[in-house]
Structure 1
Amino acid sequence: MTIDMSMWHGRDDSAEGEQARRWHQMVQPLTAQAAPGIAILGFACDEGVRRNQGRTGAVAGPLALRRALANLAWHPGAPLYDAGTVNCDDGDLEAAQQRLAAAVTALVQAGHRPLVLGGGHETAYGHWLGLARAHPGQSIGIVNFDAHFDLRHAGHASSGTPFAQVAAECARLGQPFRYLCMGVAEPANTGALFATAASLGAEWRLDSDMTPWQLADARHQLADFADSVDLLYLTIDLDVLPAAQMPAVSAPAGYGVDISVIEALAGKLARSGKLLAADLVEFNPLFDQDSHGAKAAARLAWSLCRHWKR
């Protein structure tokens, strides 16, 4: 997989000393000899969004998000690498998900923490599959910040099916399906989806129960879930944010969860010592407004990396 570093550029404040560095000055192309760190991996795909009848364009998300991250201030943390991008150029989503899984497994086995930049939420199935193969027999709890359950039953994979696919694979392996979806919008999920979530033993929290003044309750729910599993995988569907903060998604939220709440909860996971991997998905630069969405997504990725502990 070719690693293109050309998008990593930005302001140079080196005259102010070593503490004035930015991400574009710290990120390095991943090599086989690299010390364990955070590995940014792109998944350039929106075939799942197309199949789910959404607004395509998230295929350009990995490049746009790297550019948004490049100029952010760097604060000491784990080494930072670019591990390249898995592409889906031919519409064969299932093959692309398998390539993503293989790349994730290799990163984890080398001691790295994958930060995957989607792509549609079809990213999640390939990402989880790679983590499960790297940690067989361990319970991996999925925390999904999302307005949608993404538990659809369909004849083919899409951005609406990843966690139904995960549940089916867990059943095949005889492993528990541990899934917490936070930020669920009732108007955007049918009764059938709520019934599916309940039948699978999934847990959830509505967007209306995730206001800033309800943050303590959300934290307790998240902590209880984290305590019940061996490892954690965090996936942030950016359509969980209000449309004013995140216009650049397939399905902008009419209500949404404020970015301050998402950042606080994601930070709790990053500091838990259990967070194995994370991704940000559904960013669609075709619908961004004055880079509002890119800046919000980059802030969440920055915060995760700033606080991520093993």
Structure 2
Amino acid sequence: MSYPYPMLKMPNMIWSKQTDKMSDLKVHEWIETVGDLPIDWSHYDVTILGIPLSKSSISTSAASENPDAMRQAWKSFGTYNLDEDIDLADLNVIDLGDVKQHVTNIEYTHEQIRKAMVAMRTHHPHTLPISIGGDHSVTAELVKGWKVAHPNETIGILQLDSHFDLRDLESLGPANGTPIRNLIESKTVEGNQVHNIGLHGFFNAKELKVYADQVGVHYTTMKLARKEGVCNTIKKALEELNKQVDSIYLTVDMDVLDIIHGPGTPAGAPGGMYTEELFDAVQIAGEHPKVNAMDIVCLDPRKDVEQITVKTAVHVMLSFLTGFCKREK
């Protein structure tokens, strides 16, 4: 088999693409899964990568179970978006499977994540990669992989998050609380090319704000974003990044949601985004021509209530792809 992904394994859940059904497809009938036949990569517009890692979480988390939880929830969604009169089935999407995990060696697993991104950018660079974590540590490795594949590109980060994720690497290492600092201190991105939207309340230490100010990170609290309009805030961040960078990486930490809207997040808290605000935000990001990759991280299905957060995460992915479809048009 001509397959460039020795660092991946097939997902535990495999759906069969419905080739004989022309309309009213469910998402699980639409997304293909890598099989045993040779793959014509030129056929695909979007790739999905699962990263079932949560050993690098600061607090106990089952975010490693999220990739399959989201795949399971695909059958609850159709490909047609009534709000926008867009059918996502016009896109060709393939699920590559999951990055293989080492039982104890987080550093090895992080290396595999970087290699997976390099392979995606080497073998089908025209496709849009969507990664499903896993905890937020995976973002640093995915962006580093992008930089390896595109060494001459400048990369900006659009981060939707309740937290700075700028905690001290010396104390915590490459964990879920350090990915943005990891990217800045490794010189993969510049501090002033990071825009974080959604911070709020009593969930970030002042020393992290001080560090953010020192390195030039742009951040907009949830209170200010709501006052100015979440959509306007996203557009403004994209406009600023557009002037500075070649590619924009969107990372969505699901704890950006208010805990009522996202009970299945390891660090859920009151005062966050509403689901409709998040859907609008990622759709706007999806429409921007420089947003070339995205991930969805920090969702713990074991903590979830009636799949509220898992289904919201699937909706986030589909909303982003709705924006991508509008971009293509």
Report if TM-score (shorter chain) is over 0.5: yes
CA shift in 2, pair 1:5/1:60, >3 Å = closer
Counterpart CA distance in 1 for 2:12 and 2:289 is: 30
Task: Report the 3-state secondary structure (helix = DSSP H, G, I; strand = E; otherwise coil) of the residue aligned with 1:115.
Answer: strand
1:115-126 matches, within 5 Å, as 115-126=130-141
1:83 partner amino acid: L
Counterpart among 79, 90, 93 of residue 77 in structure 1? 90
Unaligned runs of 5+ in 2: 1-7, 80-86
Deviations 1:44-96 (A, max 9, x none): 110121xx1x2311111111011112432122332110111013342322221
1:1-310 matches, within 5 Å, as 1-4=8-11, 6-8=13-15, 18-30=22-34, 32-34=39-41, 35-49=43-57, 52=58, 54-74=59-79, 75=87, 76-109=89-122, 110-111=124-125, 112-155=127-170, 156-170=173-187, 176-177=190-191, 178-211=193-226, 214-228=229-243, 229-308=245-324, 309=327
Task: Report the 3-state secondary structure (helix = DSSP H, G, I; strand = E; otherwise coil) of the residue aligned with 1:257.
Answer: coil
Deviations 1:215-234 (A, max 9, x none): 35413422322322211100
Aligned length: 300
1:4 partner amino acid: P
How far residue 244 of structure 1 moved from its aligned partner, in angstroms, is: 0.9
How far residue 154 of structure 1 moved from its aligned partner, in angstroms, is: 2.9
How far residue 134 of structure 1 moved from its aligned partner, in angstroms, is: 1.8
User: Normalising by structure 2, what TM-score?
Assistant: 0.85
2:51 partner amino acid: F
Contact persistence 2:156–2:241 (CA under 8 A): yes
2:111 partner amino acid: Q
How far residue 168 of structure 1 moved from its aligned partner, in angstroms, is: 1.3
Task: Report the 3-state secondary structure (helix = DSSP H, G, I; strand = E; otherwise coil) of the residue aligned with 1:82.
Answer: strand
Counterpart CA distance in 2 for 1:6 and 1:90 is: 21
Contact persistence 1:42–1:85 (CA under 8 A): yes
Deviations 1:129-161 (A, max 9, x none): 111112112111101100001011133211011
Counterpart CA distance in 1 for 2:308 and 2:227 is: 21
How far residue 176 of structure 1 moved from its aligned partner, in angstroms, is: 3.2
Deviations 1:182-206 (A, max 9, x none): 0012411111000111111110100
Contact persistence 1:146–1:240 (CA under 8 A): yes
Counterpart CA distance in 1 for 2:95 and 2:151 is: 26
Contact persistence 1:215–1:261 (CA under 8 A): yes
CA shift in 2, pair 1:9/1:57, >3 Å = farther
How far residue 213 of structure 1 moved from its aligned partner, in angstroms, is: 6.4
User: Normalising by structure 1, what TM-score?
Assistant: 0.90
Counterpart CA distance in 2 for 1:241 and 1:61 is: 16
More displaced stretch, 184-193 vs 66-75: 66-75
Contact persistence 1:247–1:288 (CA under 8 A): yes
How far residue 2 of structure 1 moved from its aligned partner, in angstroms, is: 2.6
Task: Report the 3-state secondary structure (helix = DSSP H, G, I; strand = E; otherwise coil) of the residue aligned with 1:18.
Answer: coil
More displaced stretch, 204-213 vs 284-293: 204-213
* Identity level (%): 21
Counterpart CA distance in 2 for 1:32 and 1:192 is: 49
Which residue of structure 1 lines up, in the alignment, with residue 84 of structure 2?
none
CA shift in 2, pair 1:32/1:18, >3 Å = closer
Contact persistence 1:146–1:238 (CA under 8 A): yes
**How large is the Cα RMSD of the aligned pairs?**
2.1
